[in-house]
Amino acid sequence: MEFALDTIRTVAGELPAEAAVECRRFPGGLESSRVGEVTVRFCDRHGRPRLLRTVLKELDGWMVREASIYRNLATKYARELSPQLLGVMHPEPGKVFLCIEAIRRAKAWPWQDVELAGDLLRWLARFHLEAKQAHIAVPCWDFEARLEEMAYLTQAAVAGCRKDPDLQPLARSLPAIRRLILQQKRLREQLCGEAPFGEGPIHGDVHSGNVLIRHRQSRLSPILLDWGRARVGSPIEDISSWLQSLGCYEWEAKRRHDKLLCDYLSEIGQERKITSSLRAAYWVAGARNALAGALLHFICAVKDEKRNKRERAEAFRAAQNWTRVILRADAYSRA
């Protein structure tokens, strides 16, 4: 907290002693860090009321890599797409605090407007291209080991669904999950060999919880948060993660799925054509996202008794969507 105030001071100058400080913690996800908002209200020397806001994110363990990703990747190659990093503090070994520009959302849920989803894809395309051309070193992280670990946890959770009559439909994907886990290495090679995408720096966690829409220069523009899982991978992983996560909630995004994918292709200078090999890579990328945590997240949400009936039904539909992605990837990988 003191660190957030110090950062605010470096951005805005000295704060008066009577400044009112308010902290609000944001709800977290499956393996969340602690993220919250610090708001300071005060009167400046002309007596005018002022409000300054910043976001504080506490990281530990493997998640501390997000600090160098912000510095070396996001703020350089996704300047328009990521919030500004205002400060970094290392209070003790293995712990980091990030002070990040607070983004004011233009709308709580803007994704009925599919054009905005397309805007995000176009920004992502530019980020993928520029970061790849720059040949920068992304802080290393053994994502494949993490994926394997999460995939086994997902497999166990899906196996557990067999005992629950309401969740049984999800268990249909169990044999496919087993096969995909055994083939991860080959599938990754196939995915990263898909021309012209190849491999390069990707965000690695593009879903509706990590994208906000804000007003900027009298336009609506997307902002991508949460860079902690950025890594070297296939850009198709970001595309698939975005389109599939949005499709869980928005029918229109599902209906215009191929158009959105073609918009990405246009942005990287390719023909607007989805070849069968791109389609296969797309589902394989989707299954990797499903097994890296997306499916497990929604299975946990369905079982979470603190959530209301509507939220749990929504989580069930999303889990079903991810199991369908897995079944498709499995069918392509066996073809």
Ligand X SMILES: Nc1ncnc2c1ncn2[C@@H]1O[C@H](COP(=O)(O)OP(=O)(O)OP(=O)(O)O)[C@@H](O)[C@H]1O
d(C-alpha 15, C-alpha 127), whole Å: 37
110 binds ligand X per the rule CB under 6 A: no
Pairs from 247-250 (Cβ < 8 Å, separation ≥ 24): 247/321, 248/317, 248/318, 248/321, 248/322, 249/111, 249/208, 249/314, 249/318, 250/111, 250/112, 250/114, 250/117
Residue 239 binding partner per list ligand X, Mg ion, none, with a CB distance cut-off of 5 to 8 Å that depends on partner kind: none
Query: Where does this chain touch ligand X (CB under 6 A) — which range of 94-102, 188-196, 244-252, 313-321?
Result: 94-102
Using rule CB under 6 A, residue 116 touches ligand X: no
Q: What does 284 bind: Mg ion, ligand X, none (CB cut-off 5 to 8 Å by kind)?
A: none
Query: Which residue lies nearer to Mg ion by CB, 226 or 238?
Result: 226
Query: Residue 17 Cβ, how far from ligand X at the closest point, in Å?
Result: 27
User: In whole angstroms, how close is the CB of 100 to ligand X at the nearest point?
Assistant: 4
DSSP classification of residue 278: H
Choose, by CB under 6 A, the member of 4, 38, 52, 55 that binds ligand X. Answer: 55
Span from 38-46, 95-103, 243-251, 272-280 in contact with ligand X (CB under 6 A): 95-103
**Tokens at 279, concatenated:** 């389609």
Pick what 131 binds: Mg ion, ligand X, none; C-beta below 5 to 8 Å, kind-dependent: none
Tell me the residue number closest to ligand X, measured at CB.
29
Query: Which residue of 209, 255, 304, 331 would you call a contact of ligand X, by CB under 6 A?
Result: 209
What is the DSSP code (8-state) at residue 108? S
> By CB under 6 A, is residue 260 in contact with ligand X?
no
Say whether residue 281 binds ligand X (CB under 6 A): no
Whose CA is closest to 100, among 82, 118, 114, 112? 82
Tokens of 285: 């990328």
Angle of CA points 94, 101, 111, to nearest 5°: 110
Query: Which residue's Cβ has the minimum distance to Mg ion?
Result: 226
Least Å distance between CB 53 and ligand X?
8
Under the criterion CB under 6 A, does residue 226 sit at the interface with ligand X? Answer: yes
Q: What gap in Å lies between CA 332 and CA 250, rounded to an integer?
A: 25
Q: Please, which of residues 189-248 interact with Mg ion by CB under 5 A?
A: 210, 226
205 in Cβ contact with 171 (< 8 Å): no
Binding site for Mg ion (CB under 5 A): 210, 226
